[in-house]
Amino acid sequence: MHTVGKIDIDKYKCVTDGIKSSEVIITDERIQHIKDRHPNDYEKYCGYMRDIVSNLTTLLKPINQIQHCY
């Protein structure tokens, strides 16, 4: 398990209020998944992960969580 960085939990309240920690981690299994399924992406972006999670500018809610308007 590797610490990626910290998030501002308040920014995520629009999606969920269930976040218990501001610490963001990535496991060895998820790193291997990225390397296996997205060749070269981990090496290309791993140096930016801390900045990405710390300086969030866009947050997308999963489509299955969006309530439809008619």
Tens-level pLDDT at each residue, the chain (70 residues)? 999 999 988 888 877 888 899 999 999 999 999 999 999 999 999 999 999 888 877 777 666 655 554 4
Helix (H) or strand (E) holding 4: strand 2-6
What's the whole-model pTM score? 0.70
Domain that holds residue 28: 2-65
For residue 16, is it within any domain? Answer: yes
The domain tally of the chain equals: 1
Q: Is residue 70 part of a domain?
A: no
Q: Does residue 38 sit within a domain?
A: yes
| Full DSSP string of 17-61 | S----SEEEE-HHHHHHHHHHSTTHHHHHGGGHHHHHHT------
Contact in structure between 54 and 4 (CB atoms under 8 Å): no
| Distances, alpha carbon 70 to alpha carbons 15, 66, 67, in Å | 21, 13, 10
Whether 36 is in a domain gets the answer: yes
